[in-house]
């Protein structure tokens, strides 16, 4: 559907939605590994100050990764919803176009 000089392709939106979803899954895996590594280092640090700093880093990392994962999820859902909206609009327009009589051919419209 062309609008404002560019073309929106619902299939491209869906593909990008899948890409964002894949990034979400990958980020979750990285987050779990990173936070677990920091927590494990904190548990084996043997120095109270270092252990505290590592625990703090693990907590902060968890929050940052959680926000990033949520953003990828939101982006994925938004792209999929936009793709579906454009698909629905295209289908509705096509259905309407089929029901519109062609004024240039009167006999096809029951006039002639």
Kindly tell me if the per-residue pLDDT of 5 is higher than 90.
Answer: no
User: In the predicted model, what is the mean pLDDT of the chain?
Assistant: 83
- pTM above 0.85? no
Q: Number of structural domains, the chain?
A: 1
The partner residues of 3 in beta bridges, in order of sequence, read 6
- In the prediction, which pLDDT does 102 show? 54
pLDDT > 70: what percent of the chain? 83
Residue 112 binned pLDDT confidence (cut-offs 50, 70, 90): very low
The reply to whether 87 falls in a domain is yes
Average pLDDT, integer, range 17-32: 91
Kindly tell me if the per-residue pLDDT of 105 is higher than 60.
Answer: no
Average pLDDT, integer, range 92-97: 81
The reply to whether 57 falls in a domain is yes
The reply to whether 103 falls in a domain is no
Distance of CA 101 to the CA centre of its chain: 40
> What six digits make up the tokens of 15?
């593909």
Residues in the chain: 112
| Residue among 45, 27, 23, 47 at smallest CA distance from 35 | 27
The reply to whether 59 falls in a domain is yes
Which structural domain, as residue segments, surrounds residue 40?
A: 10-92
């Amino acid at each position: 559907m062309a609008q404002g000089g560019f073309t929106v392709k619902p299939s491209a939106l869906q593909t990008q939605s899948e890409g964002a979803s894949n990034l979400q899954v990958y980020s979750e895996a990285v987050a779990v590994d990173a936070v677990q590594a920091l927590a494990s280092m904190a548990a084996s640090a043997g120095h109270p100050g270092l252990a505290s700093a590592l625990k703090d880093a693990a907590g902060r990392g968890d929050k940052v990764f959680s926000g990033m994962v949520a953003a990828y999820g939101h982006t994925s859902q938004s792209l999929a919803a936009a793709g579906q909206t454009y698909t629905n609009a295209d289908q509705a327009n096509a259905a309407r176009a089929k029901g519109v009589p062609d004024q240039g051919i009167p006999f096809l419209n029951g006039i002639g």
